[in-house]
Structure 1
Amino acid sequence: MKKSLLRLGLALVLALTCAAAQAAPAASSSDNPVGNPAVNPAGNPVDQFTGEIWVNTAESDKAAYLFGIDSAVTVEYFVNARQTAKAAKAGKKPVYTLSPFEKAWMEAFSGVSRAEIIKMVDAWYAAHPKDLQRPVMSVIWYELIEPRLAGAKK
């Protein structure tokens, strides 16, 4: 029950960080070739914070958006740490509940400021002006996090 309330709260935090910008309508099926995870899938009921919005958003709102994500990841990290400590104290094997996204976010952006992440996202959209319909989270995951993780494994 507590975990469900926490996740609901985290979702609310993320939603509120986007309140300053209006979400773009979901992409139509003609905009989304099958198998392309970079574009909001047709029928996805969640409006996406896209590059069209990002490039017209104030720097402070971009930072607030990333702060919301950081906050959600941080809360999950500390909740996970508490559950792990409880399990260890009870002599049970720790259960790690961080999602692959949360783990990757922490690893890829360790030591990276929000201002730097904003510059990276801005640079990506500037280099790909035809891809402004692409959701910001898609750019962050596929163009920033995954390459940074792949580079760290080498």
Structure 2
Amino acid sequence: MSTATTVRGIAFAVALMASGPAAAQPTSQVHLADGHDWTRSSSDQRRAYLAGISNVISVGAAWDGKNTPGQEDTFSRTAQRGLKDVHVEEAVQAVDGWYRANPTQLDKPVLSVIWRELARPRLPAAK
């Protein structure tokens, strides 16, 4: 990923966070990006979203490392392991393909698609 793409991704993620106090909103009012948002977005916006998600997961995993030492099953750490070798273009293609194959499920959050289609299949089977 180029520096320009990373910077745009960070700027997009910061803009999303700055657009409103999501933590203060009731859960029913929080909007997660879904297939409607994804399919209306440009390629650059899709890549920026994925860069933002990647940054949030990385920051979360680093925070977990300092604040929950020894606890490896946090969402951030698990997602980071599952997405370790996934490149942006692979993720864009996977999400595009999933929404194309499931046009009646555009309400499903993009993060859910990323988790189910990319991260979880790369994790070792649960014991």
The residue that corresponds to 1:31 in the other structure is: none
Q: TM-score, normalised to structure 2's length?
A: 0.67
Question: Please, which of 74, 80, 88 is the counterpart of residue 114 of structure 1?
Answer: 88
Q: CA deviation at 1:129?
A: 0.8
Q: Is residue 50–residue 88 contact of structure 2 (8 Å, CA) maintained in 1?
A: yes
Per-residue deviation, 1:99: 6.5
Shift of 1:51: 0.3
Aligned residues: 108
Equivalent of residue 59 in structure 1, options 36, 40, 43: 43
Alignment-derived partner of residue 107 in structure 2 = 133
Structure 1 residue identity aligned to 2:89: A
Once the two structures are superposed, the pairs formed by residues 11-50 of structure 1 within 5 Å of their partners are 14=13, 16-17=15-16, 44-50=28-34
Q: State the distance in 2 between where 1:144 and 1:129 align.
A: 19
Whose helix proportion is higher, 1 or 2? Answer: 2
Show the 5 A alignment for 1:61-76.
61-76=45-60
Deviation at 1:148, TM superposition (A): 2.6
Q: Once superposed, what is the RMSD of the aligned Cα atoms? A: 3.1
**Alpha-carbon distance in structure 2 between the residues aligned to 1:109 and 1:54:** 19
Contact preservation (8 Å) 2:34, 2:107:
yes
Identity, % of aligned positions: 29
Between the aligned partners of 1:131 and 1:118, the Cα distance in structure 2 is 17
> Which protein has greater RCO, CA pairs closer than 8 Å, 6+ apart?
2
User: 1:22 is matched with which residue?
Assistant: none
Distance apart, 1:109 and its partner CA: 1.3
